[in-house]
Structure 1
Amino acid sequence: MKLIAWLLIFLIGGCNSSTKTTNVNEYTIEDILIKTEDGGIISGILARKKGDMTPRPTILQYTIYVRDTGRDLKTLKQAVDHGYNAVIAYTRGKRFSPGKILPYEHDATDSYTVIDWISKQQWCDGRIGMYGGSYNGFTQWAATKKLHPALKTIVPYVANRPGLGLPMENNVFINPNYEWSFYVGNNKYLDTIVGNDRQRFRNMQNRWWETGVAYNKLDSIDGTPNPLFQRWIQHPSFDEYWQNMAPYKEDFSKITIPVLSIDGYYNDSQNSGLYYIREHYKYNPNAEHYLIIGPYGHFGAQRNGAKEINGYSVDKDALIDTNKITYQWFDYIFKKGKKPTILKDKINYQVMGANQWRSASSINKMNNDHLKLYLTASPLGTFYSLKKSKPVTNNFLYQEVDFADRETSNNNYYPDPIISDEIDSSNGFNFISAPLEKPLLVNGSFIGQLYASSNKKDFDFGVTLYEVMPNGTYFHLSYIVGRASYANDITQRKLLTPNKIEEIPFTNTHLVSKQLQKGSRLLIHLNINKNPFSELNYGTGKEVTTETITDATSPLKIKWYTHSYVEIPVWIE
């Protein structure tokens, strides 16, 4: 009743904000409501020094995760302790906002409204900085879609880019965000019971896989409607729906504020986070955009890293204090403090296996050469040879994949564990290089060109890069999962012509830096993506989410041609 009365006073009053103040020790904590131009309401919390109205720079977090009795208050007080005022605002529909919860869709416009409101308060000196990870990283970039003059810097960690890293990756819908939609969408806070019921969703995934029903029927199998999932799968291309959520193409040319991004080699959505910096420099070559990246996962990059990730013990110097660096950055921007010492140049990366940090002026300058290696049909032990010279004769390797067979999965690409004793050789193809004559530094994102013909109009593929160490173990370096029909343009699907040799380029692989040992080999695993962890492309040319096991009347028959190649970025001393 108290909340309802408060909202009524706010709405009837016709003003653009409302506050409720509570003094907690040395802090003043205020609940705030901010009204948007289209009638929406944004709920938030303000923190400042008790009794102090001195205008200061304000640190803003914008999030869909409502943890207002614990973590959120802690982070607000931390900003105050560093000499700033602090606001955390929640996505429309969350906490005290009466609106509908629609992740991603309103954040670009609503964040502008929030920034505008903050900038006009007497306790704000007109300067605002944003920080945070994952969804909070996305909202910072959403806020730059139309850059408010008061927004002076952003510090996004492992930033999501809807439509690129989730809920689909390179136009392939993947499953982890299915339960996430319940976690953030079921109530005004977080539905931790449903959202964390991994067994429920694993059972749903397995039933879908075993029965072969259409991917768009997942919620029917689960027994609970999932309107957000259904909303997302209506957009399999990177179309205007996704483009409008964050900066796109020329939007980046207008982003002139300094940016500090933090990401990880083993962050699941790394291709989202690095999309922003690549596009930023593409459209604004003079951008002041820094990157810190190392052997971190999605959560490690937002905290202090981890001594071990997916079984790999990281180098000691890889462990950084993300929070400390963030406030060093804010002091650099707002208080003329020193730039964080880790920022030696625009790109700052930890070299796995070398226990050192390096820097470069751009992602492209991380390497000074490429190893171009061809996928040959020449047997080499139980694998095939990965050679520097292009085969004289254009041969091919033949693969057949029965989509009706649910006993066999293809493409075990996920880097967990990072180091393994063996590699799957039951399907797909493995191509291995000659031993390295001296240590080699792999630096950046590998790219490639596949040449293939098949009896279908489409297929999903996977390419994974490993270091085969001298002791015979496999170190997972990088990977890509992609859809052939989107290989040339993620915004528009172009179906393949059956039995025609098609060019399938790929570039959006995960960036990595690793010191390879003398005697190590490089290995490429090439496969068709067929497993329970993402939608299944049967190759009919129909919308993939509607295809069922009845579309698996004939196996995929594919020829991989031996003038296919990869280019691996390296640094040669």
Structure 2
Amino acid sequence: MVFNIQDSDFRRIKTTFDRQVKKLEHVKIPMPDGKTLRAHIWLPEDAEISPVPALLEYLPYRKNDFTAIRDSARHPYFAGHGYASIRVDIRGSGDSDGILLDEYLKQEQDDALAVIDWIIKQPWSTGKVGMFGKSWGGFNSLQVAARKHPALKAIITLCSTDDRYQDDVHYRGGNILASDMLWWASTMFTYNARPQDPSVVGETWRENWLERVTKTPPFAIEWLSHQRRDSYWKHGSINENYADVAIPVFAVGGWQDAYTDAIFRMVEHLPNAKGLIGPWAHEYPEVATPEPTIGFLKEALRFFDHWLKERDTGMYDEPRFQVWMQEPEKPQVTYDRRPGYWVGMDHWPSPTVSDKHYYLSNNDLVSQIPKEQTVVIPSVQEHGFYAGTFCPFGQPGDLPADQRLENGKAVVFTSAPLTDDVEYLGEPIFYGRLASDQENAMVVVRLMDKAPTGESTLISWGMLNLNHYQSHEHPEALAVGKVYDIKVKLDSLGQKLTKGHRLEVAIAPTYWTKAWPSPKAVNLTLHIGEGTYLEMPVRKSSTRDKEVREFDIAETAPIIDREILRLEERHLQIVHKPINSTWKVIDYSDEGSRKLQHNGIEHGSINKNVYTIKENDPLSAMAECSWELTVGRDAWQTKVETYSKMTADLNNFYLTHTIKAYENDEEVASNVWENTIPRDFN
């Protein structure tokens, strides 16, 4: 074996494998309705003589260009270790037929089952299949597993969720995710409008392209039309019936990702689930930030070898759930590395974790139940500007700044300095007795690590639409002045605090840009006493911690050659204009442009998001997202430009989407969508 050590990123490139690899390009996979999906397949060269299990990654992100670089890092790696590694463009994306009408439709699952049917009939197949994927691919791996195809034996799901309503980019705690619902809808709105490759599909590419541009709906219209947890969101949420996923699952994520809570639930509820949580953002652990990365492709092989090749890899002699316990770190908007250590458990919930209550009293967190008192918590619309990106991908500037910049806009409670080191692992929960002076309101709870030198690092947060305090399916108006007993789940954490550090809890009825504001400014009244406290999951070390082995160094297959045509660039600004009382986030991300040497494809993207609000005016909230995507080759060049906007008044939300498509700088298609959607307790 030959390795090329990459000193710059502590990864090594594996250039030779046990089995020689060949790549089959643009393979047609027929669907029962006559449509065709297209795939790249990496195979051992002798697979038809010595058949192999198959691994399926099933995405809408375009195998020819947008994911080609990342695909080259792992699909040949799996093939070189004795698998058919298959990368399929789902219906309506890349070179596959059709248009993509929404996320996670039943059609998407049906097509995946047909792909598996096709795989097991191939001469190189043993008839055993695994699935893997990050984000969309992690979602549909779970959803397809729930469909119980007999050939699907195991899956790896990364950065995904079991609950599409409560734990995705649309809603959190029943609140609209202002920073991400429109942004992600605008992203897919633009992604879906990219054309097929004429060199692959022929002259039909233009007809399909124009159909994608003019007929693919902006997803935000449907998402905003379902503000409750109804049947729309239950579809594709495996927590509706965990028993449907009976095959082994390896659930993986990171503390900086938005989907980490789901790993705890899957380890708890899926009988054959393993869990792994590192310090990472929304990325594969062999390339993720912050460090340490791990040899995740080796871990994936150990998992699939166990279930698809019936080899004892030792993976199931190790703790079932392994997490990176983060040590204290002062707040930074970007971390290159997070200090910490691995801990392991055989079960979740773990017997090593117990609850500790911190009661709120005056401005303190205390161990004893305090005397009853009330605290008024006013609306400050600009609260939340320093909260960081909801789902960090590892870009510079994604993370929360020092929370001292936020704490003056909320009511804050602080504990005494810790007298010993403490590990917190699991889901903090805030229990509170609250009254509102409006019929519609929310509450947001932030949890910070306050260093002895004063810095305040956000370590968890959560929010609840108070109209949903009993049910996300059946919200109801609040009775003004009535005291409600509420429960706010905060994001799970694995955090060690050392002696001298303090916990801080901040409470507010606003959190722009994470949450769309309530229609009217709200004053909450917090009733302090026995029913208002923070519940923290305190962990004691375990003998299993000593059996957690160090992971191998990260390694991948060689990355395909590409020419950089335009460098990446990121700008993130928070603009405060005191004269007109306006606050604005301007997030500009030029992801650069590159040319892939193996197929000549050039592709690039530019995204700008602007979130605006005025002090004391919740109806001034506005989100705007614009994109420019280019795809081309030589004399064939295409560009898609989109603009999306969301605003609201007392009764309705207003969506605007525009799209323009260009071929060789000539506009060839455009469309505009204008939609009014009633507010439904949001």
Same fold? TM cut 0.5: yes
What is the Cα deviation at residue 475 of structure 1? 2.6
Alignment of 1:97-246 (within 5 A): 97-101=96-100, 102-105=102-105, 106-160=107-161, 161-163=163-165, 164-174=167-177, 175-186=179-190, 227-246=218-237
Counterpart in the other structure of 1:85? 84
Residue pairs, 1:305-384, within 5 angstroms: 305-306=288-289, 308=290, 318-339=292-313, 344-353=318-327, 355-365=340-350, 367-376=352-361, 378=362, 384=363
**Alignment partner, residue 29 of structure 1:** 24
- Using the TM superposition, give the Cα deviation of residue 523 of structure 1 relative to its aligned residue in structure 2, in angstroms: 0.9
What is the TM-score when the length of structure 2 is the normalising length? 0.64
Distance 1:418 1:340 in 2: 39
Alpha carbons of structure 1 residues 350 and 339: separation in structure 2 relative to 1, 3 Å? farther
Q: Which residue of 2 aligns with 1:294?
A: 278
Q: Is 1:520 matched up with 2:507?
A: no
Note if contact 2:54-2:129 (Cα within 8 Å) is conserved in structure 1: yes
- Measured after TM superposition, the shift of residue 61 of structure 1 is 0.4
Change (3 A) 1:111 1:186: same
- Whether contact under 8 Å (1:183, 1:190) holds in the other structure is no
Deviation string for 1:82-125 (max 9, x for gaps)?
11112112222112333221222233332222222212222211
8 Å CA contact 1:367–1:569 kept in 2: the answer is no
Give yes or no for contact 1:460–1:537 (8 Å, CA) kept in 2: yes
Say which is worse superposed, 230-239 or 411-420, in terms of deviation.
411-420
1:495 to 477, 483, 488: 477
Q: Which moved more, 1:415-424 or 1:229-238?
A: 415-424
In 1: Cα distance, 2:26 partner to 2:216 partner: 33
CA distance in 2, matches of 1:534, 1:389: 33
**AA aligned opposite 2:349:** N
* Residues 330, 230 of structure 1: alpha-carbon distance in 2 compared, 3 angstrom cutoff: same
Structure-1 separation of matches of 2:317 and 2:471: 34
RMSD: 2.8
2 CA distance for matches of 1:343 and 1:91? Answer: 37
Letter in 2 for 1:303: E
The code of the aligned residue for 1:571 comes to R
Q: Which blocks of at least 5 consecutive residues in structure 1 are unaligned? A: 1-24, 192-223, 309-313, 379-383, 539-551
Structure in which a larger fraction of residues adopt strand = 2
Percent identity over paired residues: 19
Q: Tell me if structure 2 keeps the 8 A contact 1:290–1:343.
A: no
Q: Which residue of 1 aligns with 2:265?
A: 278
Q: How does 1:9-28 map to 2 (within 5 A)?
A: 26-28=21-23
Find the aligned partners of 1:98 and 1:166 in 2 and give their Cα distance: 27
Partner in structure 2 of residue 567 of structure 1: 535
Q: Shift of the alpha carbon at 1:370?
A: 1.5
How far off is 1:30 after superposition?
4.1
Report what 2:41 is aligned to.
46
The structure with the greater share of residues assigned to helix is 1
Q: Which residue of 2 aligns with 1:22?
A: none
Q: Which residue of 2 aligns with 1:68?
A: 64
* Paired position in structure 2 for 1:204: none
| 1:400 matched to 2:378 | yes
Task: Provide the C-alpha distance between the structure 2 equivalents of 1:340 and 1:422, rounded to a whole number of angstroms.
Answer: 47
Q: After the TM superposition, which residues 457-476 of structure 1 pair with which residues of structure 2 at under 5 Å, given as runs?
A: 457-476=439-458
TM-score normalised by structure 1 residue count: 0.76
CA deviations on 1:251-297 (whole Å, 9 max, x unpaired) are x11322111111111112334x43xx515633x5xx12111112111
8 Å contact 2:127–2:151 — kept in the other structure? yes
Contact 2:55/2:86 (CA < 8 Å) preserved in 1? Answer: yes
Determine the structure 2 residue equivalent to 1:303: 286
Query: Greater shift after overlay, 51-60 or 413-422?
Result: 413-422
Larger mean Cα displacement after TM superposition, 101-110 or 236-245: 101-110
> Shift of the alpha carbon at 1:364?
1.7
| CA–CA distance in structure 2, aligned partners of residues 228 and 445 of structure 1 | 31
Q: Is the Cα–Cα contact under 8 Å of residues 53 and 125 in structure 2 kept in the other structure? A: yes
Looking at structure 2, the residues matched to 532 and 374 of structure 1 have their Cα atoms a distance apart, in angstroms, of: 29
Q: CA deviation at 1:51?
A: 6.1
Partner of 1:269: 259
